[in-house]
Structure 1
Amino acid sequence: MQKWGKVLLKIGVGLLLLLGLIFFIATASIDTTPYFETEYYHNTIAKMEVAAKNKTEAQGSLLAGFAKVNITPTIVEGSPNLEIGEFNRIKLAGYGDGKIANGVHDSIYAKAIALQVGEQKLVLISADLLLMPEPVVIAVSEKLKGLIERDQLLFGATHTHSSIGNCLPSYVGESFGGAYQPEMVAWLSDKFVTLIKKAIADKHPTKFSSGYIRVPNVVRNRIIGEPGRLNDKLDVLSFVQDNGKKATIGIYSAHATVISTFNDKFSGDYPGYFQRHLEANGTDLALFFAGTVGSHSNKGEGEKFEKAKYIGETLADSAQVVLNRLEYNPNVHLSAITTELEIPKLQFLKISDRLRLSPFIGQKLMPEIKSIPLQGFQLNNLIWLALPYELSGEYGLDLKNALEAEGYQMVLSSFNGQYLGYIIPPKYYYYDTYEAALMGWYGPSMGDYLMELNFKMANVLTHSKF
């Protein structure tokens, strides 16, 4: 009996040691090194200084072209025809419960506006997608080589959670978007190539103007609620071709999660209602870009699709107020800058206030990162930064207010072809919320690091210091 007791004790001790070793390998302490003392910070600043020297600028008459394509897949039970968008099984991106698309509530689209001043060219692209998947962006860039470069393409998304998945490899990508399907990436990238070519071919002399309006009744701070600061600004851009054709862009910070897990049909959520309402009332092409959605959710009257309609049409009516008071200019100043970010090691998945999953294991779960672009452009007094993450509305408010004090309108959009999770102020990092515990991937200094870069980008574009 004593012999067996010793054996069991040894086994128990061995198991405890093995568990301790696994825990040691699988976890890592949070890195609290000041970001401005790190190699990734200094490398990024050096790259930004080079990008600032290579910034492109042009002054003169504006040409703009508008286009849209339907990206609603067709779901079939028999043999699929991928060339015409027929698929057997598509996961709705955005919800982790495995919801498979079972039809169409409202069609989803990709839309673009091509801009040109002199030899300076940009294309603004948004789609009714959860985000702009990097594999799609890489494929589009390859297919458009010789026509337009990657740094001239500014991608965004409406962030609807009732759209196409299956575009991101890795455990995390497939948890949110379903099994990776290269054929979906190929089909979607072909759609975007067609879209961009159509926008470029449509260019005509165009007038431009922009403004914003506060719409506080359809957005809320979802981290801390009523005490939290709120970015409730709806930014509106308007382009009017000399032939009378009009395009309107709206950028807003409420999460497009009205249509939640009850739904199994494709839908643009409230941004879809926003775009359709404008297009039914005088706008030929309406686009929506998700803004600083990293801490802001939606609110409104009604339930389900009725609520989505209320929010979308409230924003569209508010945008119309801005459109009615705009003064247009056919001559513009256009400048643009693209730089590359370096980032800290992954500190993904909260285990305790002190511990996160080790970077080695975290990298095995996350999509491979090939590049992290940060892009910005200036169009007269409008400054727009296209970000590779979901920035907190509280952070966004700081930058918007700083530039507004100097006469600029600051636009911040998310999902420019890469995704780094939620970027929230460090005061919330240890707060036990979804934004910090699950979606805060790079430690407590990440927000302040990225906001310094955002201010530097704004400084370069405006020749100022904020």
Structure 2
Amino acid sequence: MLTVRYTYLYVLAFLLLLTACVVRPLDRTPYQETDYYEETIDDLEETPVTIFQGDTVKVGWAKVNITPPVGTPLAGYGKRLGMSYEEVHDSAWVRTFAFSNGKTEAYYVALDLLIVPMQVLQELEKIYPELNLKPEQVYLTATHSHTSFGGWGKKLGIKLMTGKYDEELVQRLTQQIVQSMELARRDLQATKVGFGSVSAPSLVKNRLLNDEDNPYYADRQQNRDTELRFLKFEREDGTTAVLSVFSAHATILPSETPSLSRDYPGVLVDELEERIKFASFSAGAVGSHSPVYFDGDTHESTEAVGERLAKLLREELLHVETKYIYTIGHGRTELDLPKPQWRITQGLRLAPFLFNGIFGDHPAYVTSLQLGEVVFLGAPADYSGEFVPQLAKQAQAQGQNAIVTSFNGGYIGYITPDKYYTLDEYETRSMNFFGPYSGSYLTEIMLRQLQQHQP
């Protein structure tokens, strides 16, 4: 009996020790009192954005088909378990704008992918010196299509969403991005630029607040970013190009269909290119924002949403005045992060080493690109559209316009307002990786970087 009793005690002690190793209490230290906040502020001040006044800005554009062979895994839903696609409904592309004013150059890259993969960012940064570029000169974005290709994630947690890792695919994709940049650089010409925006409230909803039992349900119609923002590029010969951004997830198509598609962004871009020379799309502040559609999860729905957005943009395009600009600015601030806080209950989280073992420990940055009076702000996350009014208001006070994009080469999960942290929802529970103040923290850093672009 004594031996059995000691065995139980040993087992209990082992379980308690194991629990102590893998479970931690939630850390609710206000972010402005932390070392990671101070380190990020220091980095922001030590490596501020650089702004160059030069000659008339020249603009070039190019696209390269990046569709890998049939049999490549899809990316976007863990329940696919790495399912490969069997057909290509519409091809994936990288679409790039190049900008130069004689003093500096910059690039805006839009990938028809779920995100800009971390492994691809690492490979690009090895090549930038060969192109006489610094990382902050290349502004990376993605369409966030959940039916584009994967194969670019190494860690287990990423593989569940993107399928088996393919080193050859990563290398090929990196070279295709570089190719698009080089082609866009060769196309540089003096080009007028204009900012436009049109509201599309009937095409986007805040899915985080859809549940009638949600205490914030009544705010669902107000707490959205409904603007379709764009830049119009116009050359002397009448050639026109458009760079567009909208804050609704590209998640119309079903997860179980083994078909590659760009979802509604592909329709939007194709519709625009029937009337103009070149168009691109990037996911805006899509965190918790979904498209509104009525024909089910079908290609008919992607066509309806994409065509409607294209119609709205084309109508507004006629009223957008363009002018020559002379200013290019760019910035990149490394975002120092707290220890991961992937929760298992409201008060307990998994130990950071477990999270990093599953998802990896990747660098994250806040990025920015200034073109004349327009400032692009890039987030390494599913960044919520509920934050956009704060950034737009600050830009307006500076005499500028702000355009927010997500997925700039790092990924730190869903970033939603702090008040939602205790909601038992996918965005605020499963996909909140870094604790209760992630929204306020990231938004403050983005606001500070925006302020550095002030004339």
Matched, 1:74 2:105: no
Structure 2 runs not aligned, ≥5 long: 211-216
Determine the structure 2 residue equivalent to 1:231: 225
Using the TM superposition, give the Cα deviation of residue 260 of structure 1 relative to its aligned residue in structure 2, in angstroms: 2.3
One-letter amino acid matched to 2:65: N
Using the TM superposition, give the Cα deviation of residue 106 of structure 1 relative to its aligned residue in structure 2, in angstroms: 0.9
Larger deviation: 334-343 or 207-216? Answer: 334-343
Matched, 1:169 2:154: yes
Using the TM superposition, give the Cα deviation of residue 441 of structure 1 relative to its aligned residue in structure 2, in angstroms: 0.5
Q: Is the 8 A contact 2:51 2:453 kept in 1?
A: no
Following the alignment from structure 1 to structure 2, what is the Cα–Cα distance between the partners of residues 415 and 154?
11
Q: Is the 8 A contact 1:211 1:409 kept in 2?
A: no
Following the alignment from structure 1 to structure 2, what is the Cα–Cα distance between the partners of residues 332 and 278?
27
Determine the structure 2 residue equivalent to 1:154: 139
One-letter amino acid matched to 2:285: T
The 3-state SS of whatever aligns with 2:377 is strand
Q: Is the 8 A contact 2:325 2:371 kept in 1?
A: no
**Aligned residue-pair number:** 442
Following the alignment from structure 2 to structure 1, what is the Cα–Cα distance between the partners of residues 338 and 224?
28
Change (3 A) 1:22 1:233: same
| Aligned residue among 19, 32, 36 for 1:36 | 32
| Aligned residue among 192, 195, 199 for 2:184 | 199
Following the alignment from structure 2 to structure 1, what is the Cα–Cα distance between the partners of residues 209 and 142?
25
Following the alignment from structure 2 to structure 1, what is the Cα–Cα distance between the partners of residues 398 and 128?
38
Root mean square deviation, CA, Å: 1.6
Q: Is the 8 A contact 1:230 1:397 kept in 2?
A: no
Determine the structure 2 residue equivalent to 1:81: none
Matches within 5 A, 1:54-73: 55-73=50-68
Determine the structure 2 residue equivalent to 1:49: 45
Matched, 1:460 2:452: yes
Determine the structure 2 residue equivalent to 1:25: 21
Q: Is the 8 A contact 1:168 1:367 kept in 2?
A: no
Determine the structure 1 residue equivalent to 2:213: none
| Aligned residue among 165, 175, 181 for 2:166 | 181
Q: Is the 8 A contact 1:126 1:158 kept in 2?
A: yes
Following the alignment from structure 2 to structure 1, what is the Cα–Cα distance between the partners of residues 325 and 205?
38
The 3-state SS of whatever aligns with 1:67 is strand
Determine the structure 1 residue equivalent to 2:350: 357
Using the TM superposition, give the Cα deviation of residue 178 of structure 1 relative to its aligned residue in structure 2, in angstroms: 1.0
Matches within 5 A, 1:326-405: 326-348=320-342, 350-369=343-362, 371-404=363-396
The two structures have a TM-score, normalised by structure 2, of: 0.93
| Aligned residue among 284, 295, 305 for 2:299 | 305
One-letter amino acid matched to 1:181: D
Q: Is the 8 A contact 1:58 1:118 kept in 2?
A: no
Following the alignment from structure 2 to structure 1, what is the Cα–Cα distance between the partners of residues 236 and 17?
69
Task: Report Cα offsets for 1:402-429 as digits up to 9, x if no partner.
Answer: 4335543211101111111111111111
% identical aligned pairs:
31
Matched, 1:127 2:123: no
Q: Is the 8 A contact 1:236 1:322 kept in 2?
A: no
Q: Is the 8 A contact 2:74 2:149 kept in 1?
A: yes
Task: Report Cα offsets for 1:293-332 as digits up to 9, x if no partner.
Answer: 1111111221211111111111111111221101110233
Following the alignment from structure 2 to structure 1, what is the Cα–Cα distance between the partners of residues 305 and 392?
23
Task: Report Cα offsets for 1:175-203 as digits up to 9, x if no partner.
Answer: 11112111110111111111111011111
Task: Report Cα offsets for 1:238-285 as digits up to 9, x if no partner.
Answer: 1123343322111111011101213211100010111011011x2211
Larger deviation: 117-126 or 134-143? Answer: 134-143
The 3-state SS of whatever aligns with 1:138 is helix
Q: Is the 8 A contact 1:174 1:180 kept in 2?
A: yes
Determine the structure 1 residue equivalent to 2:85: 101
Task: Report Cα offsets for 1:379-406 as digits up to 9, x if no partner.
Answer: 2221211111111111123222343355
The two structures have a TM-score, normalised by structure 1, of: 0.91
Q: Is the 8 A contact 2:68 2:169 kept in 1?
A: no
The 3-state SS of whatever aligns with 2:100 is strand
Following the alignment from structure 2 to structure 1, what is the Cα–Cα distance between the partners of residues 346 and 361?
27
